[in-house]
Amino acid sequence: MADPAAHRERFTEGRLLVPLVTLAVPLVGTSLFQVVYQLTDTFWVGRLGQDAVSALSYAWPLLFLSISIAGGMTMAGTILVSQHTGAGNDERVGFVAGQTIALLTLLGLGCSLIGVAFAPMLLSLLGATPGTAVHRMAVAYTRTIFLGTVFLFVFFAFQALLRGYGDARTPLYLVGASVGLNVLLDPIFVLGFDANPLFAWLGAVPGIDGAGLQAWLYGWTGFTGWGVQGAAIATVVARAAATVVALGLLFGGRVGIHCRLADLRPALGTFRRIVALGAPVSVEQSTNAVAVTVLTALLAIVGDDVVAAYGIGNRFLTLIWLPAIGLGRAVDTVVGQNLGAEQPGRARRTVHLALVIVATILLAAGGLVVWFAEPIVAAFVEGENADAVVGHGATFLRIVGPTFAFMGCYHVINGAFHGAGSTRLSMLVGAFALWGMRAAIGAMLVLGFAMGAVGAWYAIAASHVVAAAVAGSCFLVVAWDRNVLAEQRATAAD
């Protein structure tokens, strides 16, 4: 294990570009692996046709809502770990990490119970018609994912805690292994050994009889796959395996943070501190889920092919946001550690540098996506009515593509707010300027002006521009660069 003082100096002394980039690159890789989870599910489920893809699209807002709840609490862990690390409070780092894991375990159990019990009703409210194939598949997928919520929450906590400490490589390796397992399981769990294109592709490899292998496996097992639910089962199994390894590393003292079993004993004061910092982030991210839910419900009025296009477009955009998300998360760590070390000027310079990097990358990405919009969407759907889905999805990417750089700048500035512990400010900007604006404009254009799917696409693009403008204004005029540890000490002294 590296010397804590030497590790800390990587972020609080010397040139900013090196620690920012060396932290951001593995974070981008981790985010890429997370996207591969979603794209793998979408790709193999897409072999089942439009109804199956629509089922995933209806399920996604509910899953995102649960992830948003976890995201807020894990962000609180990142803030506290990063600022304690920057301040040199090494003895507090393991304790804060243990408390974060304990709280996320309890939240995960609660979300599992609610999700399994109320999935049919909630999916109906989103626009999936009860009794249809789409509704049945969406219920099966949603319930299965919610059964594994505890693994998801705890693993997210592990990633966030190590990110706050400044270790992005360990989570990268674990997420990569988990995704690899998911990629192996998905085609088998979804399609089984009957008419599975995986074996046709294997047959193209010299020396492999793909058709013969598939026939032998089908004759031996008779397994035709679990359909949409199979994708959920593969995801839960892969995440559970990664979570077990992550806890072993954390409690075995093999990473920079060393938790002890005693650190899991709930300390109400620390729980309250985590909730105070994390709740605004959960609200912010939940508002995102609400906006996605509102747009999904609005698009359901237009048709299932539009919902499917929106689902594909959303999953592809998560790939585009990787540089922004990676840089934003690197910024929250570097800003947090420098504020903990009482260097606010260095924290601000970190943000300036990250803005230049992300704007350059996403301007180029936006141009490429606009040019190749149609083949991008076509790669994720086939079968009946696929042409309609591709048409709607391509229009979506062409409208939203030119605004990528604005969304990237928003992510970086929001990372600074998070690292400083100014989570209420980030909540207000995200909830109202980004997600609230998106839902409001979407409702006005889709319903009020009867613009259909195009209205929703323009609402998304407009929200990117507005959010970047509001976040940038707050960065310049609001005193966001605070030290939550200093505030905590001052409150205790009072």
* Range 176-212 burial, b when 16+ CB lie within 10 A, else e: bebbebbbebbbbbbbbbeebebbeeeeeeeeeebee
Min mean pLDDT across 234-248, 376-390, 419-433 is at: 376-390
Helices 386-400 and 304-320 sit at what angle, rounded to 10 degrees?
40
Task: Report d(CA 365, CA 333) in Å as an integer.
Answer: 25
pLDDT over 80 (residue 90): no
Please tell me the predicted confidence (pLDDT) of residue 492.
44
Rg of the chain in Å (alpha carbons): 23
How much of the chain, in percent, has pLDDT values that exceed 70? 95
- DSSP-assigned letter for residue 402: G
Amino acid 140 reads A
Question: How many Cα atoms are found within 13 Å in the side-chain-facing hemisphere of 415?
Answer: 34
- Alpha-carbon distances, residue 270 vs 96, 99, 279, 341, 450 (angstroms): 8, 7, 14, 21, 50
- Whole-model pTM: value is 0.79
Please tell me the predicted confidence (pLDDT) of residue 396.
93
Helices 149-165 and 322-340 sit at what angle, rounded to 10 degrees?
60
Please tell me the predicted confidence (pLDDT) of residue 237.
95
Task: Give, rounded to a whole angstrom, the gap between the first and last alpha carbons of the chain.
Answer: 38
pLDDT over 80 (residue 3): no
Give pLDDT tens digits for 449-488: 888 889 989 999 999 999 999 999 999 998 887 766 655 5
pLDDT over 50 (residue 494): no
pLDDT band (50, 70, 90) for residue 314: confident
Give CA torsion, residues 335, 339, 342, 343, to 10 deg. Answer: 20
Q: What is the DSSP string of 230-266?
A: HHHHHHHHHHHHHHHHHHHHHHTT-SSS---GGGGS-
Please tell me the predicted confidence (pLDDT) of residue 488.
54
Task: Report d(CA 170, CA 492) in Å as an integer.
Answer: 35
81 φ, ψ (degrees, to nearest 5): -65, -45
Residue whose C-alpha is closest to residue 69's, from 223, 280, 234: 280
Classify burial at 14, counting beta carbons within 10 Å of its beta carbon; exposed 0-12, middle 13-18, buried 19 or more.
Answer: exposed
pLDDT band (50, 70, 90) for residue 7: low
Task: Report d(CA 445, CA 24) in Å as an integer.
Answer: 37
Cβ atoms of residues 260 and 101 within 8 Å: no
Mean pLDDT estimate for the chain: 86
Please tell me the predicted confidence (pLDDT) of residue 486.
55
Give pLDDT tens digits for 47-59: 888 888 888 888 8
Under DSSP, is residue 469 helix (H, G, I), strand (E, B) or coil? helix
Cβ atoms of residues 100 and 74 within 8 Å: yes
Distance from the Cα of residue 131 to its chain's centroid? 31
- Averaged pLDDT for residues 137-154: 94
pLDDT over 80 (residue 18): yes
C-beta atoms surrounding 268 within 10 Å? 8
Give pLDDT tens digits for 259-294: 889 999 989 988 998 999 999 988 887 777 677 777
Q: What is the DSSP string of 23-66?
A: HHHHHHHHHHHHHHHHHHHHHHHHTT-HHHHHHHHHHHHHHHHH
Task: Report d(CA 318, CA 448) in Å as an integer.
Answer: 29
Q: Hunting for tokens 């990528």 — which residue is that?
A: 404
14 φ, ψ (degrees, to nearest 5): 80, -165
pLDDT band (50, 70, 90) for residue 8: low
Give pLDDT tens digits for 342-373: 888 888 999 999 999 999 999 999 999 999 99
pLDDT band (50, 70, 90) for residue 257: confident
Give pLDDT tens digits for 187-229: 999 998 888 888 888 878 887 888 888 888 888 888 888 999 9
Cβ atoms of residues 389 and 303 within 8 Å: no
Cβ atoms of residues 85 and 8 within 8 Å: yes
- Alpha-carbon distances, residue 439 vs 93, 424, 443, 451, 470 (angstroms): 39, 20, 6, 15, 17
Task: Report d(CA 58, CA 308) in Å as an integer.
Answer: 9
H/E segment holding residue 380:
none
Please tell me the predicted confidence (pLDDT) of residue 490.
42
Cβ atoms of residues 29 and 170 within 8 Å: no
Please tell me the predicted confidence (pLDDT) of residue 154.
95
H/E segment holding residue 89:
none
pLDDT over 90 (residue 241): yes
pLDDT over 70 (residue 392): yes
Task: Write down how long the chain is.
Answer: 494
- Averaged pLDDT for residues 134-152: 94
pLDDT over 90 (residue 106): yes
- Alpha-carbon distances, residue 487 vs 21, 214, 336, 348, 462 (angstroms): 30, 63, 14, 19, 37
Please tell me the predicted confidence (pLDDT) of residue 483.
64
Alpha helix (H) ranges present in 88-148? Answer: 90-125, 133-147
Give pLDDT tens digits for 63-85: 878 888 888 889 999 889 888 88
Give pLDDT tens digits for 376-387: 888 877 777 788
